[in-house]
């Protein structure tokens, strides 16, 4: 069995896959051994917000339980999903911290054995500030979260973000300076919807630049290579975004 959207995940089909995952886990012997996962990254965004429609993989924090891994593989095979459709690669990145479990919140429980948790907006922002990748959805997700929280009457303040950064990482020392300047500029301007599309377009351009480079230079692309390749593009993006933010601030 396969789906038309193999390799893309929305709120609707992700819940379906999680439900199927819990069933497979039960079949493999997990009935008396409930497990817990924490959704992070794009998966957490699409579960909690409407501005982003999909993600291409499911980043999660979870223990390496062998039958859970097998259950993930079985669901992937049955629905034609890419290998590693749900993975714990996030736990190998600087954005991961063991403190995350302390500040996650319940999302849903599937078949009494799969307890799924997620993280609230300010903690997502903190993690995405640390990652700060110009070629992913990190910056646009930050603005999208701020915009949607404000629209629903539950704005995320600097104090909330500051608290989340300190709770997860102990302080701002590990946050890249570009990310610090970015969040300060965004919060000062406040007009999130006006900036969102520009930032997203910039991220798409960065992805295209990297794709063209990979086509011309086959092989693994190291993170340091990414930084060099995007250096000029990042300068232009930073300039254009900050100029726009300055203009917004002057108009208010």
Q: What does the pLDDT look like over 22-57, one tens digit per residue?
A: 999 999 999 999 999 999 999 999 999 999 989 988
Count of other CB atoms within 10 angstroms of residue 86:
25
* 140 or 207, which is more confident: 140
- What pLDDT does residue 242 have? 53
Residue 97 structure tokens = 């911290």
Question: From its phi and psi, is residue 166 left (phi > 0), alpha (psi between -120 and 50) or beta?
Answer: alpha
Q: Is 92 helix (H, G, I), strand (E, B) or coil?
A: helix
Q: What is the pLDDT of residue 2?
A: 32
| Mean of pLDDT values over 68-89 | 93
The percentage of the chain sitting over the pLDDT mark of 90, rounded to a whole number, equals 63
* Cα–Cα distance for residue pair 231/120, rounded to 1 Å: 31
* Distance of alpha carbon 189 from alpha carbon 177, whole angstroms: 18
Across the range 93-118, mean pLDDT stands at: 96
| Threshold 0.85, pTM exceeds | no
pLDDT of residue 208: 80
pLDDT of 105 > 80? The answer is: yes
pLDDT digits over 163-181, tens only? Answer: 999 999 999 999 999 899 9
Whole-number Å distance between alpha carbons of 106 and 115: 8
Strands 114-118 and 35-39: parallel
The answer, yes or no, to whether residue 162 has pLDDT greater than 70, is: yes
Report whether pLDDT(114) > 50: yes
pLDDT, position 202: 81
More confident residue, 252 or 98: 98
Residue 72, pLDDT > 70, answer yes
Query: Given pLDDT bands bounded at 50, 70 and 90, which one contains residue 10?
Result: very high
Residue 84 main-chain phi, psi, to 5 deg: 75, 30
Cα radius of gyration (the chain): 19
Give the pLDDT of residue 5: 41
Helix or strand (DSSP H, E) at 232: helix 223-251
- Return the pLDDT at 235: 58
* Secondary-structure percent of the chain, ordered helix, strand, coil, rounded to 5: 60, 10, 30
- DSSP labels, 2-21: --TTTT-B-HHHHHHHHHHH
Locate the DSSP E strands across 40-172.
58-61, 86-87, 105-110, 114-118
**Cα 35 from Cα 112, distance rounded (Å):** 9
Residues whose CB falls within 8 Å of the CB of residue 29, separated by 6 or more in sequence, listed in order: 67
User: Which segment of 3-12, 52-61, 198-207 scores lowest on mean pLDDT?
Assistant: 3-12
Strand duo 35-39 + 58-61: pairing:
antiparallel
Local structure of residue 111 (DSSP, 8 states): T
């Amino acid at each position: 069995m396969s789906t038309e959207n193999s390799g893309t995940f929305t709120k609707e089909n992700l819940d379906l896959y999680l439900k199927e995952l819990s069933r497979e886990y039960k079949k493999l012997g997990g009935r008396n051994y409930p497990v817990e996962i924490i959704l992070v990254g794009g998966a957490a965004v699409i579960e909690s917000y409407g501005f982003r429609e999909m993600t291409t993989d499911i980043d999660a924090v979870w223990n390496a339980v062998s039958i859970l891994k097998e259950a993930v593989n079985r669901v992937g095979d049955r629905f034609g999903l890419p290998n590693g459709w749900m993975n714990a690669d996030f736990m190998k990145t600087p954005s991961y911290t063991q403190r995350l479990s302390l500040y996650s919140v319940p999302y849903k429980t599937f078949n009494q054995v799969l307890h799924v948790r997620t993280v609230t907006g300010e903690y997502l922002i903190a993690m995405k500030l640390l990652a700060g990748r110009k070629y992913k959805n990190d910056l646009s997700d930050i603005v999208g979260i701020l915009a949607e929280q404000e629209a629903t009457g539950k704005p995320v303040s600097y104090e909330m973000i500051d608290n989340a950064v300190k709770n997860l990482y102990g302080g701002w020392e590990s946050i890249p300076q570009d990310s610090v300047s970015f969040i300060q500029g965004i919060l000062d301007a406040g007009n999130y919807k006006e900036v969102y599309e520009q930032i997203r377009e910039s991220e798409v351009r960065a992805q295209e630049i990297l794709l063209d480079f990979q086509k011309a230079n086959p092989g693994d692309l190291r993170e340091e290579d990414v930084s060099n390749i995007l250096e000029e593009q990042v300068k232009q993006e930073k300039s254009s975004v900050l100029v726009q933010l300055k203009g917004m601030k002057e108009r208010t």
